[in-house]
Structure 1
């Protein structure tokens, strides 16, 4: 499985997505520091929101195969400038979270991620699991056995 680093503002859904990708029960947990898991790096939103910490995110891309930019469908603005993915020497995908929230505007979030330079965009609902398998398939490498393929 390719390793992914998740980046986005606070409350964009990075930790919830991490729990969903790992098949864990969804519980609220505020990320206070960078968490390294087998194939996921979960970063605090403050790193993307603070000029002085933003440079640290660039360093974590070196530890991953794929960069996942998260944008909640409920966000009124984006932190990602146009074509920011061009500065990264890794594949960058867009992930739209909270797609079923009453205030969701999925098309707006998709537009922001496309403007940032993301070609592949995955709309997800971490609580229902919608879209999670598509991300896992994207991260799949030859020989990987997905949880739904395992023999019981």
Structure 2
């Protein structure tokens, strides 16, 4: 390559790993530039490997946002960990996320041990720097650098955007040379049905407390598209979804007094659905009890885990 030649185009996969609530999905959304994964402050918010595609002149970076790696307490937890481990084997770069607002702990050390046998380049990202002081960030950078052998240790705030561009350039630079893997218009490979289910679950996670978030799963039963009676050129979509809980005592928590909670969940989820689908949506929600689904292989398979 002569000095006048453009740098080679690069493309490949970067996997984001970290303990639950390390800011992986928020960082993925910030890098992609739009929402590709749901966000909440509850553990196990991410339950699938979600791909977000970053398109830049220098290359195409495919981010794989994984569930939080943790010591599992259920069959679901084991399967979520398996998702992470399977993903680690097929990526070009590993992004190990450690939050700036919490001390490095046993969960981070557990992940570091899993990464010791991996030959893939590792970039450690200290996330949520907007929530910590400069002194705390410096201490976290030092602590994080001692956990694993990393190419770089980068402090980033996905919320403020601080150093997101720097991280993006760094990750693209670590990818192999190659053509784009996805067309320019694609920002995720998530199918519409799963995206709709996740929007319902995200809204529910914000509206309920106690033990329900861990026990909640959402499935889409039917999607019906028809001409919008208000606009002949638009499409009106009916979405029928089920919210599954493990115990009968959890059902009233999701319904709320007079159905107030389920109505609020539907209103919030519908906004995201109309943005996703580009038209009006009628969302029909029902709550059902699917006993102890987190430890039942057949029920987990039915729910897509």
Aligned to 2:85: 58
Q: 1:99 aligns with which of 123, 126, 129?
A: 129
Contact 1:81-1:116 within 8 A present in 2 as well: yes
Per-residue deviation at 1:102? Answer: 4.4
* Aligned equivalents of 2:85, 2:35: Cα separation in 1: 30
Q: When the two structures are aligned, how many residues end up with a matched partner?
A: 142
Higher relative contact order (CA 8 A, sep 6+): 1
Structure number, greater radius of gyration: 2
Per-residue deviation at 1:143? Answer: 8.3
More helix by share: 2
More strand by share: 2
Per-residue deviation at 1:103? Answer: 6.3
Q: 1:80 aligns with which of 108, 130, 143?
A: 108
Is residue 21 of structure 1 aligned with residue 31 of structure 2?
A: yes
Aligned to 1:150: none
Aligned to 1:41: 64
Aligned to 2:97: 70
Q: 1:116 aligns with which of 124, 132, 147?
A: 147
Q: Where in structure 1 are there 5+ consecutive unaligned residues?
A: 145-152
- What is the root-mean-square deviation in Å for CA atoms of aligned residues? 2.7
Is residue 8 of structure 1 aligned with residue 40 of structure 2?
A: no
* Aligned equivalents of 2:172, 2:120: Cα separation in 1: 16
Q: Where in structure 2 are there 5+ consecutive unaligned residues?
A: 1-10, 54-61, 73-77, 180-305
C-alpha distance after superposition, 1:122-151 (max 9, x if no partner): 11110111111111111225689xxxxxxx
* Aligned equivalents of 2:52, 2:160: Cα separation in 1: 22
C-alpha distance after superposition, 1:57-80 (max 9, x if no partner): 232112210001100001133323
Contact 1:73-1:108 within 8 A present in 2 as well: no
User: 1:137/1:34 Cα in 2 relative to 1: closer, same or farther (>3 Å)?
Assistant: same
* Aligned equivalents of 1:49, 1:28: Cα separation in 2: 18
User: 1:81/1:11 Cα in 2 relative to 1: closer, same or farther (>3 Å)?
Assistant: closer
* Aligned equivalents of 1:90, 1:102: Cα separation in 2: 30
Per-residue deviation at 1:42? Answer: 0.6
Give the secondary structure class of the aligned counterpart of 1:81. Answer: helix
